[in-house]
Amino acid sequence: MINIFGVVIFLRTGWMVGNAGIGYSILIIFVTITVAMISVLSAIGVCERCRMQSGGVYYLLSHVLGARIGASIGILYCFGQAVAVSLYVVGFGESVSALFHQDDNVWVSRGIAIGVVILLLGINVAGVKWVIRLQLVLLMVLFIAMLDFLVGSFVHTDRESGFVGYRMDILKNNTGPDYQEGHTFFSIFGVFFPTATGVFAGINMSGDLRNATKNIPVGTLSAVGVSTFLYLVFAVVLGATCVRADLQTDYLIAEKVSVLGFLFLAGLYISSISSSMGGLYGAPRVLQCISGQNVIPIIKVLGNGRGPNKIPLYALFVVTSITLIFIFIGKVNTLGPIVTMPFMLTYAAVDYCYFCLAMSFDKRKAREDRFHSSVPHNPVGQANGTVPSPQHNYGAINGKKDDLDKLFPERMEQHGQPLHHRSNDSLGSPTFVTDEKAPPGAERKPEVTEDTAGLLEKDLLAAEARANSEIHRQPRSFYSILNSRWISLLGSVVCLVIMFAIQWGYALANISVAIVVYIYIGQANPGVFPGIAEFNLWEWVRDGFKNCCRRGEPPPEQIVVTPNTPAMNTMAAQLTEDNEDFAERGRYHQSEVVKGENFDDFDSE
């Protein structure tokens, strides 16, 4: 939450209401939260349906879509995080310089911002424990500042500063838009959207969480829900109590609404510092993960770390350098759209990532259903006391798995066989007993003990679960109904449209950089991980177009079924006789290791 509730909400909410009005401000808040929430739910869906490791957004994208796409978007995401830190500390510098009546001196705010970045750099170098401890304290101060603002809107007024209290005429006057020169709805949206850039803070900490699959959904959804409520409260309170002219010109008008102005300023400073700390913590670790996997060879050195926790010193210094460069731009309204573009592109990629994952699961499931061999679902522990046994497989040796299943265990998943059929299964084999009253040579039957029955039951229940070991079915939860692939696909398209609506030049620049990095990885490192997704958007669109253009029903599928032949026992026979002169020699093949440098000894012709 302290990464979501950033400096923009303190410094630009009143300015947004003064330009867009209460109605459009609420719309901007809902659009911002909706875009971010779709991406959050998509990311949560990927975390729940795949294994999650360290690397945050980069690992999420590269594991599903491939390392080329993951690194291309991950580099832009790190850049956006670095510029976002510049925005936060510049807002901090603006507020401090205004407090000392140095608004006209830009270098004062820039100097304060640079000092804050250097301080936070030292805290991040100290380690993650200090980051978490400090942020918990900052969160308490943030809530106190919010309470001070809400109480102040009821207990006093400051007419000279434009705060006149709750009045119906003020509310009606501030309901509609009244844009200043050079501003539109989308320009206001571009400045406000960086408030949602911290929604992936928990995902970026995936490597440090004890149970990422459980912690990420609970923490992220709770933070987004509380922050949305506070956004709406800020906008409505300022629109109902303050004059429009002061809302448009006084960036610190919310301080006048508070009972104790220093508490509000403390909340502003806290949000700036905490958001900056989160950016300086998450971005270097994403960059370190990209570099450590050598996806982009030219930045491999950034993957090195210090200490047992592998603190990414080199990546941290690179992110800090980018932050210091953009501090010299020195304006929140200018940095806002620059920050928005990389995050919009990241959100679009995450939405498309979940869409591909869901479509790949259906594709695999359809293929498995087609080739699925029946497995008896006889519950263990019934009255008959029998245990299910595998069906007889013609062509196998002694009724067991054939040689291909031994060489390629993944064939068992394709055939839907239980786990205890594998030769390398750690569950062990069932105990066999012989009936004492049975005649000698009678067939032995497996003993169904309580432990054995439990293991076999787990095997049978896990047969379908392991039919698709890479991608799991969406688990049931209160938000699972919102995890729709079609909503994610729509969210991806909406993000791209909003990017071009805000600033088409910035949008083209970010997309171009992503394409250049993607092409470079393909040339410099073509053997990177391709991702677990089997879905291809072009093929899906092409097949859908063919189905729409086809008249009548599609032709029936023709399947060639090979005949079942009776089981045959084969024996190895030696076709050549042993030579008496070499009879005493061992039966082995002679091999020699040829190293790469030995090839230079041969003639190239």
Using the 3D structure, point to which of 442, 468, 494 is the last residue of a domain. 468
CA distances from 455 to 254, 382, 399, 422, 479 (A): 63, 15, 22, 14, 33
Say if 46 falls within a structural domain: yes
Q: Which residue has the higher pLDDT, 120 or 566?
A: 120
- The whole-angstrom separation of Cα 320 and Cα 333 is 21
Confidence of residue 531 (pLDDT cuts 50, 70, 90): confident
* Per-residue model confidence (pLDDT) at position 595: 56
pLDDT, position 354: 92
Domain identity same for 315 and 456: no
Note the pLDDT of residue 461. Answer: 39
Quick one: 249 and 290 in the same domain? yes
CA distance 40 to 44: 6
**Please, what is the average pLDDT of the chain?**
76
How far is the C-alpha of 28 from the C-alpha of 183, rounded, in Å? Answer: 14
Same domain, 18 and 163: yes
pLDDT surpasses 70 at 431: no
Number of H helices, E strands in the chain: 21, 2
Between 105 and 404, residue with greater pLDDT: 105
Least confident of 7-11, 383-387, 405-409: 383-387
Q: Which residues fall within 8 angstroms of residue 348, CB to CB, at 6 or more apart?
A: 491, 492, 493, 495, 496, 499
210 DSSP 8-state letter: S
Residues 192 and 232 in one domain: yes
Q: Give a yes or no: residue 605 inside a domain.
A: no
* Backbone phi and psi for residue 311, each to the nearest 5 degrees, phi listed first: -65, 125
User: What percent of the chain is modeled with pLDDT above 70?
Assistant: 71
| Whether residue 356 sits in one domain with residue 504 | yes
Average pLDDT over residues 156-178: 88
The answer to whether position 220 is within a domain reads: yes
- Mean pLDDT for the stretch of residues 445-454: 45
Domain range for residue 319?
A: 7-362+484-524
Looking at residue 376, its pLDDT comes to: 45
- pLDDT confidence band for 555 (50 / 70 / 90): low
Residue 430: CB atoms within 10 A of its CB come to 18
Specify the CATH number for the domain of residue 237. 1.20.1740.10
Distances (CA, A) of 231 to 227, 307, 366, 504, 568: 6, 40, 45, 27, 75
The pLDDT score that the predictor gives to residue 73 is 92
Residues 399 and 326 grouped into a single domain: no
Sign of CA dihedral 506, 509, 512, 516: negative
Among 124-128, 366-370, 546-550, the range scoring the smallest mean pLDDT is 124-128
Q: Is residue 476 part of a domain?
A: no
Task: Between 60 and 465, name the one with better pLDDT.
Answer: 60
Taking the C-alpha atoms of residue 73 and residue 62, their distance in angstroms, rounded to an integer, is 9
Contacts for 356 with CB less than 8 Å, ≥ 6 apart = 64, 65, 533, 535, 537
**Share of residues in the chain with pLDDT > 90 (%):** 13
**Side-chain half-sphere exposure of 328, counting CA atoms within 13 A:** 4
What does each C-alpha distance from 564 to 307, 394, 557 come to in angstroms? 62, 7, 21
Highest mean pLDDT among 238-252, 298-312, 375-389: 238-252
Query: What are the phi and psi torsion angles at 433 (to 5°)?
Result: -130, 160
Contact criterion met (CB below 8 Å) for 269 and 10: no
* Same domain (yes/no): 417, 276: no
Number of domains in the chain: 2
Provide the pLDDT confidence category of residue 514 given band limits of 50, 70 and 90. very high
Q: Please tell me whether residues 121 and 189 are part of one structural domain.
A: yes
163 has pLDDT over 80: yes
Contact 163, 257 (CB under 8 A): yes
108 pLDDT above the threshold of 60:
yes
Does residue 463 share a domain with residue 490? no
Which backbone phi and psi does 543 adopt, to 5 degrees? -65, -40
Boundary residue ending a domain (524, 541, 556) = 524
